[in-house]
Chains A and B, each alone.
Chain A
């Protein structure tokens, strides 16, 4: 079918590419401590990108009878499309990136139910008042790209995830705890998630009030994701750099961050949910340093943005079926540092540990600003965590925080399958508390 679309497109186009994706997902979900929904989700679809008279056209569909119309829509759109600044790739050699584990697809639904119920029971054994939601899901994906220069690329991917979210209500006081794991292979048990959630409950047992002012803050790995990464995703996109909207644009080689900070985009890691042998245009993926010992090392490009910037694609194209590709981070890796978590806590006279910041990226993300309400976080007093904070807001700028880090944790963990980071210990972040 893809070959036929390509053939039809090439009767009118100079170049054409067919992107086909098929996806099956089986989530089981628990509400109010018990099993509620069992779902099977199946979808597949095809997108056609053409170049006609040097301009790009695009169309997508998910039903077979629409194929002829697909070609004519893509060609119609190309009259108005952006000018193409690239050539599609010919046949390529791809790195071997393991992203599929057959055990995921074969994992029985009953075992998924058991895993989910085990998460809930494991936490509620220690916190019977906690009202829990849990989810366990498996998915498999097949992606296939062919183009008019003879490139043929295909991979399979499997993803398995499990998560637990709990709410504790005492009159109008609400505590939200939770954690999860996303992997390519099935999880055998949920112990690691249970332990993390129990630890959150333990630290949150008491409440504490933090002073308003500029305070040191430890961002746990989940805190890093909720507060700090969204601006970086934007800033390293070659597209944002080209527009001149990245604060890092024009600063390659410059030490913008703490000299202890090193960041990578690494889609080549085996069995990581963000891993893939080639990007969404059929370009081989690679491990790209983004920040090397504090210095801006690279930006990420797809074919079109690389063409505009006069450089090569970094294999970073990402697209949904319905849209043209755009460069983006696949898997962000923050290198570990030297500090232990207890050391960082012990270092603070008064400060905060942020586990989850709500609404952090609603501000000026391009400029690096973050600000939001601490959904889960703890006060540190004289080197000890004394309780969770409430009615507390923080506001800061990612570039300021990451240029003056007081410490980087020595233990990194995965957060959600696309980010692996240690805790980051920032200096002097604005904290506001309701008096």
Chain B
């Protein structure tokens, strides 16, 4: 794409602001169900969008056909003019001109398809060596994407990234009982993260079988220790989404609830989000509005101190922009999203945390989670009773739920073992899966509601 053509297409429109975002990319995928390879393919895609702001109203046009860009911008402008009746406000950003190459260690795009298949075949063989396995699934994909962003303020930013993700699951069955155990991995630019997993894959098969004979958890309130994976999902779901300013920037009542300075947790609790934390799945240099990435404290010493913004939400709430406006691809406008979200490391050891629990739960691994601002719910991939300070029998079907305003304050211990999970993808407003990472040390929560039999 010629820079001049893009810049020309943005000039001279009767709008407060216009931008173009164009992208091209390719993906390779392989997936297995059971012993058989089920899906394999290589796709290419290209597309773009134009977005315009006029009197506070937005117009958005997405397309595959990259010709006549100026007409597409003009259509977005005409849409925006139809919507806008108020005042346009965007946080001030110095327009950048920069090219950011992909950060690649072991480039998955340079690995032959035959080699990828050989590795996944090995993993599948290992899964199938565990007894009582009913079926398995493995999905792998990698891809590269190059994005060009330009706006009417003079920004012109080209960014590239390479992603690789894999998910493996083992399904065991005994009569009517079907149980599964899963492993999700991902990296920005490093194929090595999916290599050498043979031991973990072996344990996965055994885990699914163990769950078959595990009893259902008894419902009730428990003291719960979350491992770094599940605690990462917890902080993403229970608190991260609350930090996204787009749901509150036009809602005065919610702003009262989430006023900066409100105490959410005990003084040991610190929560951070930031694409400027390097080397993770949610890392980038500029967001999809051309705003430089930051590292933002959301909670510092238990107190709400920051939130995540687009240019519009930052301007309207009169807070600094954070570079969190992201679009999953060219078909969507950027919205406020998380990047790399984590609880900062504390001082407790897992052993100490557990020693103080006469009866509780140790929950590990992620199965899913969702939130409604006030309430959250998420499920454990693996769970054990804690009895007299020690891990006891395995349990299945553990779903934790709670009210964010009380639960964060109930975190009474934070471990010294921060670990980031790179295998997840986040969904919001029909845009999924967006590459993010989340993490935490082990944490202990008092009085956590667990659903079950």
Contact = CB atoms under 8 A, between A and B. Distances in A.
A371 B379 CA distance: 9
Interface in A367-419: 367-369, 371-373, 375, 391, 393-395, 399
A420 interface: no
Given A244-B173, A395-B399, A430-B453, A36 B83 contact: yes
B445 interface: no
B251 interface: yes
Contacts of A399: 176
Contacts of A364: 178-180, 396-397
Contact of B59 (A39, A79, A80, A324): A39
A169 B405 CA distance: 14
9 contacts: A32-B250, A34-B85, A43-B64, A358-B375, A363-B379, A367-B178, A368-B178, A393-B377, A395-B453
A362 B379 contact: yes
Given A80-B37, A434-B221, 8 more contacts: A38-B57, A74-B41, A77-B41, A169-B251, A359-B368, A372-B377, A391-B402, A393-B219
A367 B179 contact: yes
Contacts of B66: 63
Given A324-B41, A394-B451, A243 B135 contact: yes
B373 A174 contact: yes
Given A371-B379, A391-B449, A38 B60 contact: yes
Contacts of B65: 42
B253 A323 contact: no
B378 interface: yes
A176 B370 CA distance: 15
Count chain A CB atoms within 10 A of each CB in B60, B66, B219 and give the residue with the most: B219
B368 A363 contact: yes
A126 interface: no
Interface in A78-113: 79-82, 109, 113
Contacts of B47: 43, 62
A36 B253 CA distance: 20
A368 to B, nearest CB: 8
A63 B377 contact: no
A212 B450 CA distance: 12
A60 B40 CA distance: 11
B36 to A, nearest CB: 6
A172 B399 CA distance: 23
A76 B42 contact: yes
Contact of B452 (A129, A359, A432, A435): A432
B43 interface: yes
A8 to B, nearest CB: 16
Interface string A328-365: 00000000000000000000000000000011011110
B38 A66 contact: no
Interface string B237-269: 000000000000011011011000000000000
A113 B254 CA distance: 26
Nearest to B121: A80
A37 B51 CA distance: 10
B192 to A, nearest CB: 22
Nearest to B60: A39
What's the dominant secondary structure at chain B's contact region?
A: strand
A324 B39 contact: yes
Interface of A: 31-32, 34-45, 56-63, 66, 69-70, 73-74, 76-77, 79-82, 109, 113, 129, 131, 167, 169-174, 176, 212, 239, 242-245, 247, 321-324, 358-359, 361-364, 366-369, 371-373, 375, 391, 393-395, 399, 430, 432, 434-435
Contacts of A79: 114
What bracket does the count of chain B residues touching chain A fall in? Answer: 35 or more
Contacts of B46: 62-63, 66
B113 A80 contact: yes
Given A39-B60, A244-B173, A171 B257 contact: yes
Contact of A58 (B41, B171, B176, B402): B41
A367 B40 CA distance: 27
B419 to A, nearest CB: 22
Contacts of B173: 244-245
A324 B250 contact: no
A32 B44 contact: no
B447 to A, nearest CB: 8
Contacts of B396: 364
A85 to B, nearest CB: 10
Contacts of B370: 358-359, 362, 372
Contact of A323 (B41, B61, B113): B41
A432 B43 contact: no
Closest 8 pairs (CB-CB, A-B):
A362-B368, A32-B250, A393-B451, A58-B41, A243-B135, A367-B178, A359-B377, A38-B79
A58 B41 CA distance: 5
B374 A174 contact: yes
B377 A61 contact: no
A56 B39 CA distance: 9
Interface in B339-378: 367-378
Contact of B82 (A109, A239, A367, A395): A109
B401 interface: yes
Contacts of A40: 60-62, 75, 79
Contacts of A69: 44
A396 to B, nearest CB: 9
B199 interface: no
B219 to A, nearest CB: 4
B130 interface: no
A112 B113 CA distance: 48
A38 B52 CA distance: 10
Nearest to B453: A430
Nearest to B399: A371
B43 A322 contact: yes
B113 A35 contact: no
B251 A362 contact: no
B377 A324 contact: no
Given A393-B399, A395-B452, A375 B375 contact: yes
A42 B57 contact: no
A35 B79 CA distance: 11
Contact of B42 (A77, A321, A371, A430): A77
B441 interface: no
Contact of A82 (B40, B60, B257): B40
A152 B379 CA distance: 46
Nearest to A246: B178
A38 B63 contact: no
Contacts of A359: 368-370, 377-379, 399, 401
A63 B37 contact: no
Contact of B397 (A58, A81, A369): A369
A391 B38 contact: no
B57 to A, nearest CB: 7
Contact of A36 (B57, B61, B62, B113): B57
Interface in B42-56: 42-47
Nearest to A81: B40
B415 interface: no
Given A59-B42, A174-B372, A371-B399, A239 B33 contact: yes
Given A174-B372, A247-B176, A371-B451, A41 B378 contact: no
Nearest to B114: A80
Contacts of B251: 32, 131, 167, 169
A41 B62 contact: yes
B206 interface: no
